[in-house]
A and B are shown apart, each in its own frame.
Chain A
C-alpha cells in the first residue's frame, strides 16, 4: 500500500535532483518583498479562508464520523452485542436490520467507526512522526546521514505492506492497537521522502543561513526554523496517511485478522461475505459498512486534497 501514501496528490516524492533544478525556475528576488520570497510562515497558509467546497464537504463528513465514534454509546439505538432475531430486513425496529447473530446492524455500524478512526489516526500519527523526523534529519544533515536514512527508506518502501501485515497478523492475532502500531511503523517512508526534499529546499534559504550564522544549534534550527515551514506539507501528508491506514484496517479486518473484541466495518463485510449474507442478497448487511468505509476515507482525503490545492494556488507560477 505504499502507493496511497507515496502519492501525495501534488507533493509526490520525487528525486531530489529534480526538485532542486525545478526550484531555480522560481528563484525569488530578495528585497522585492513579493509573495514568493516570503517565509512560509507569513503567507497565512492556515488562516481561514479559501477552503474549497469539496474540502468543506470533507470536513463536515469527517466531523460527523468523529461524532459517531466519540458518542457511539449515546447515538447507537442498542448495544451492538445484544442478540435479536437474526436476518431481519431493515424496518422500524431495526433501521438496517440484523445479522446472522441478530445484532442490530445500525448499532454495529456506529460502533465500528471507532476502530476505523483510532487505527487511522494512531497509525498516521506514528508514521508522520517517524517520517517527519527521518526526513528532517536526512534533509538537514545531507551527506552520509542522508544516504543511510534514504537507503533505509528505499528498502522499506519496497516491502509490500499489506502482505507483510497479513503474515504478522496471522501469527500475532493482534489487537487493534497492534494493527495501528504495525501500520505506523511501515508507513513513514513516503512522508520521510517528501519532508526530506522540502527540507533540502528550506535549508538553503536565507533565513536559515541567518539562524546558522547566529550560532543556533542544528536541532534548534531544525525544530524551530525548518519544521514550521514544512508544516504545510506535513498536514496533507498526514491526512493521506490516515486514509491509507483506514483502508488497510478495513482490509485486514475483512480477512478476519482484526480485533475480534471490537466491531469494525471490515469485519462486518467479512461476516456478511462468509456467513451467507452476500449470497442471500442481504444487502443491508454489507452495503452500509462498505459505504461507511468509502465515505470516511473520502472525507479525510478531501480535506487533504483541499489543503494541497490551496497550497498549489498560492504558489507562484513562473
Chain B
C-alpha cells in the first residue's frame, strides 16, 4: 500500500468524472483550443490540484465543468457528477447543482462580487436561492460562516465589496461557496493577490474545508509548491492539456513529464530556472507534442505524433503502486499518468 493513501481512502467513492472534455472558442482569428481531451476523476474528500502556467486553460476547464462558459464556447466530452452528465442537463437543472452541490470560488473576488450589494447579502444569497429562505434568516447563517473564515468585527458584513480588501473579498467568496455544504468546491487561484502570510492562511482554511465541510476540492493554482503542500493529487496542465497526473507528493518529488520537471525547476528553492521559449498560441498549438518546441528531450516522433495519456513506464515505483492496493477503478487515478513519448 502506498504510504500517501490512508486506508479509509480506499473506501472513497468517485464523485466527479471528467472524460474527454474539450473546449474551443471560435474567434475571427481561428479557433482557440482552450482545453483538449481532459480526463480526470475527483474522489470524495480529496483535494485535487490543477497546476499550470497562466493562460493554459485552467479557468476555462473549471468553468466548463459548471457550464459557466460564454455562449460561443464549443464544449465536448462528458462531466459525470453522481449519475448525471452535467453537460447534458438543462440549464434549469444545472442551476440547481451550481452553488448547492458544486460551488466555485472565482479567480477575481473583487470583481466577482456585485458592487452594489452588501457583503452579507451576497454571502447569504445561495441560501435564499436554493433553500428559499428569507433574506433575514439567511443573513444569520451567513454571519456564522463568515466568522469562521475570519470575517468579523467592524461591520465588515455590512460593507460593500469595494470597501474590503482583496483578501476579505476572497474569504467572503469562500464563505459563500461553503455555506450550503457542497460536495465539490472548485477554487480558482484562491491565493492570487494575497500576500504570503494571507496566502498560507487561505490555504489552511481551504484544507480545513475538506475536513470540516466534507467536500472535495478542485484547487486551481500556478503555485507548484503550494499545490503539493495541500493537495492529495495533482494534475499538471500545459497548453490546454493535462500532461501529468498523480499523487501530489510523488509528482512534486519526482516529476516525470519534462514540463513538470521544468516547472519544478522554476521554483526559487530550485534555483529559478525559467523555461526557455514562450507559451504557445492556443489557436495554432504546436503539432505533435505541444511541449516539443520547449522540450529538452524532444525527438523526431514528438514533432509529428501527439502523445497520449498513459500510465508512466519509466517511473521507478508508480507502476508498482498502481497495481497494489487499488481496485481496478482506482487503478487509473492513483497510478501516475503522463502525456509524453519518453516517459
**A interface list, Cβ under 8 A from B:** 21, 24-25, 29, 31-35, 38, 42-44, 47, 49, 313-314, 317
CA distance A31 to B278 in the complex (A): 7
Q: Which residues of A contact B111 (CB under 8 A)?
A: 21, 24-25
CA distance A42 to B283 in the complex (A): 15
Residue pairs across A and B with Cβ atoms less than 8 A apart, 8 shown, are: A31-B55, A32-B55, A32-B282, A35-B25, A43-B28, A43-B29, A317-B70, A317-B72
Q: What secondary structure prevails in chain A residues at the interface with B? A: loop
**B interface list, Cβ under 8 A from A:** 25, 27-29, 32, 54-55, 70-72, 108, 111, 278-279, 281-283
7 smallest A-B Cβ distances: which pairs?
A317-B70, A33-B281, A32-B55, A29-B55, A35-B27, A25-B111, A35-B29
Q: Which residues of B contact A31 (CB under 8 A)?
A: 55, 278-279
Nearest chain A residue, comparing its CB with the CB of B111 = A25
Q: Which residues of B contact A32 (CB under 8 A)?
A: 54-55, 279, 281-282
Check A38/B55 contact, CB under 8 A, given A24-B108, A31-B279.
no
Q: What secondary structure prevails in chain B residues at the interface with A? A: loop
Q: Which residues of A contact B281 (CB under 8 A)?
A: 32-34
Closest Cβ–Cβ distance, residue B291 to chain A (whole Å): 15
Contact B27–A314 (Cβ < 8 Å): yes
Q: Which residues of A contact B28 (CB under 8 A)?
A: 35, 43-44, 47, 49, 314
Contact A34–B70 (Cβ < 8 Å): no
Check A29/B27 contact, CB under 8 A, given A34-B32, A34-B282, A34-B283.
no
Q: Which residues of A contact B282 (CB under 8 A)?
A: 32-34
Closest Cβ–Cβ distance, residue A26 to chain B (whole Å): 10
CA distance A43 to B29 in the complex (A): 7
Contact of B55 among A25, A34, A47, A49 (CB under 8 A): A34
Contact A25–B72 (Cβ < 8 Å): no
CA distance A42 to B27 in the complex (A): 12
Q: Which residues of A contact B71 (CB under 8 A)?
A: 317
Q: Which residues of B contact A21 (CB under 8 A)?
A: 111
Additional 11 contacts, C-beta under 8 A, given A29-B55, A44-B28: A24-B111, A31-B55, A32-B54, A32-B281, A33-B282, A34-B32, A34-B55, A35-B25, A42-B29, A313-B72, A314-B27
Contact B108–A33 (Cβ < 8 Å): no
Q: Which residues of A contact B25 (CB under 8 A)?
A: 35
CA distance A33 to B285 in the complex (A): 11
Closest Cβ–Cβ distance, residue B69 to chain A (whole Å): 8
